[in-house]
Structure 1
Amino acid sequence: MLAVFWLLGAGWLTAPLLQMAQPHDLSTTPVSYASRTAIIVLGGGTDYNDDDVLVPPHDVLSRINVSAQHYAACRRVAATCEVIVSGGNPQKHRASEADTYLPYLLRQQVPRTDIVLENRSLTTYENARNVSAIVRRARYDSLILVTSAYQMPRALLDFHRFGLEPQPLVSNVRRARLSAIPHYYNFESAEIALHELIGIAQFHVYRAIGWF
């Protein structure tokens, strides 16, 4: 048990877990814009900073930044570009994920009129379910899904479950920090990778027995 603990914390076991959870091909696929394009940003929690202000975690900041950059690029070529921010309040903090992320998009010049908030979903499956209702009403020509590399495989499974085929746009990739001394970041990354791998297995089991 101590050996496993050290291998995770030092990154040597965390690295292959991250490789399994983060397929390389998803992070290299380019995206394209259509006349009516929606950029879907998935939530990834909220944190309280030292001033007790609710803020997006580091990984989510990457999602917000990438979404804002692609919104700007989309606006140069497409008639309609909107950003759908999906995330409720599973942590029971003072505000939902979507509402917490909104000011960060506004600061990056994404106008409020082009932002759609979906602030009720508590899981990735609910992200897909709730967003699917939004996009069907709006009739977009192209969907772009923005999230971290580790969440993308499971997110695509959930969106496919609801008949959507979004283009994957990876915002950031986690990499183990190899060393002789255990680091908290490696334990956190290992937990994230295991959560996603177990979630994928769970999805297939639930589909097999008819729950999804």
Structure 2
Amino acid sequence: MILFTLLALFFAAIVLWKRARRPLVIGAAAVFWLLGAGWLSAPLLDLAQPRVQNAAPANFAPRTAIILLGGGTRYNDDHVLVPPRDVLARIAASARSYADCKRTAPVCHVIVSGGNPQRHSASEADTYLPYLLRDQVPREDIVLENTSRTTYENARNVSAILGRSRYDALILVTSAYQMPRALLDFARFGLAPQPVISNARHIQFGVLPRYDNLVSAETALHELIGIAQFHVYRAIGWF
């Protein structure tokens, strides 16, 4: 959506400023080629997501909550609602963390946070539930939070759940590009969970534009704008 808006702005400028039409067309083509070929997408992605190197294992406590952040839903070719690829990695990482937790801790819960911002037939949390069950996470150890629409609401609604229970350790599972913004939002509610990164996006450089590079650029811009929005809202008292 951000890149589409950028393209629309270029188009509007081309229509309105006839004298600058040629440089605007060249500029728009150059920007989108740099994004698609990876040369501009890569620095954007580096700003948005931390580099993952030798991440320390999570520390579990007698009562541990593993927080799985939603990342949307999509319909597959059979029109069945399923998690996107990045979310499948988050689910797998949450299930692994749960299995590791149960080896040392008596109480391990997975809190799945995700509403239905896409207005599909089910919420993110409800869609992810069968995948956690398939990965051997018992239903009684899964808590569904299925009303949040943004990362900020994830943090707010999960903090309310945590306020009703006592946990000794919190673990936050999400993709590398969402982790910086998620930690900011959770800190806003006085929470400092241990970050567990499920997956990271990567750029493929080349001469020909790649769709995946454009998706990564869109994702990076979404996160960077979200972080900027967080600081602006905090400054004016909205957060």
- Asked whether the two chains share a fold, i.e. TM above 0.5, the reply is yes
Q: Which structure 1 residue ranges, 5 or more long, are not aligned? A: none
Structural mapping, 1:61-210, within 5 Å = 61-210=88-237
**Which aligned segments of 4 or more residues in structure 1 are displaced greater than 4 angstroms?**
none
**TM-score computed with the length of structure 1 as normaliser:** 0.98
Asked whether the 8 Å contact 1:27–1:170 carries over to 2, the reply is no
| 2-structure distance, mates of 1:27, 1:11 | 26
Amino acid paired to 2:161: I
Identity of aligned residues (%): 73
How far does residue 27 in structure 1 lie from its aligned partner after superposition?
Answer: 7.3
Shift of 1:29: 3.7
Letter in 2 for 1:110: V
Q: Which amino acid aligns with 1:130?
A: N
* Secondary structure at the counterpart of residue 146 of structure 1: strand
**Structure 2 counterpart of 1:74, which letter?**
C
* Greater Rg by CA: 2
SS of structure 2 residue aligned to 1:173: coil
> Could you say what secondary structure the match of 1:113 adopts?
helix
Distance of 1:26 and 1:53 partners within structure 2: 36
Residue 45 of structure 2 aligns with which residue? 18
How far residue 79 of structure 1 moved from its aligned partner, in angstroms, is 1.0
- Higher relative CO (Cα under 8 Å, sequence separation at least 6) belongs to 1
Superposed displacement of residue 28, structure 1: 2.1
Between the aligned partners of 1:99 and 1:106, the Cα distance in structure 2 is 11
For these two proteins, the number of residue pairs brought into alignment is: 212
Q: TM-score, normalised by structure 2?
A: 0.87
Query: Deviations 1:65-106 (Å, cap 9, x if unpaired)?
Result: 000011001000001000000000000000000000000000
The alignment partner of 2:199 has SS state of coil
Letter in 2 for 1:144: I
Letter in 2 for 1:32: N
What's the CA shift string for 1:112-141, capped at 9, x where partnerless? 000000000000000000000111211100
Structure 2: gaps spanning 5 or more residues: 1-27
- Classify the secondary structure of the residue corresponding to 2:209: coil
